[in-house]
Amino acid sequence: MIHSDLRPANIIAHHDVLTVLDFDDCGRGWYLTDIAGIVGLDEHRADLAQVLEAVVTGYRRYRELDEDDVREIATFVMIRRIGLLEALQYHLDNVVPGEGESFELCPEIAAFYAKGTAVLARRYLKQYAHAPLARPESGEPTEQDAA
C-alpha cells in the first residue's frame, strides 16, 4: 500500500511529528513512487541529490532499501514528473475560476512546467542512458548482455 501523492503539501509538521494527509490516491503501487513524490514539483532543486539522500536515510530507519532500489529513484522521480505534467494538462481545461482551486491554471503555467519537464528529461537521459540494467534475480541474461 502506498500513499501515491506523498508531497510536502500533504504533510503537516508539528514539532518533530509528521502527519500525512490526503489519502484519496492511495492504493497498491511501488513504494519508490512515494519517495519520488516527496520531491514532486521540486525536481529542479540544485540540492535534489542531498534531499533524496536525506529521504533515503530516513526511509532506511524503518524499512530496508537496497542499492538497486536507490539507483532507480531517479527513474521514479522522472516518471512522477511526467505524470504531474499529464495531470496539469488534464486539469487545465477543468478549472472553474472561483471554485477554490489553490491557483488558477493557465496555458502559460502548463507551458512553463512542460519546458521544465523536458529539461529534466534531457538531464535524466544524459545521466542514465547508458547505465547498466539491473540483473533479474533469476540470473537470466538482460538485453544488455545479449548486445
Digit-by-digit pLDDT tens for the chain (147 residues) are 999 888 888 999 999 999 999 998 899 999 999 999 999 888 888 999 999 999 999 999 999 999 999 999 999 999 999 998 998 888 777 766 666 655 567 778 888 999 999 999 999 999 988 877 666 666 665 555 555
In a domain, 147, yes or no: no
In a domain, 140, yes or no: no
In a domain, 141, yes or no: no
In a domain, 139, yes or no: no
In a domain, 116, yes or no: yes
pTM of the predicted structure, to 2 decimals? 0.78
Contact 4, 27 (CB under 8 A): yes
In a domain, 109, yes or no: yes
146: which 3 cell numbers? 545479449
| Number of domains comprising the chain | 1
Supply the range of the domain harboring residue 124.
8-133
In a domain, 72, yes or no: yes
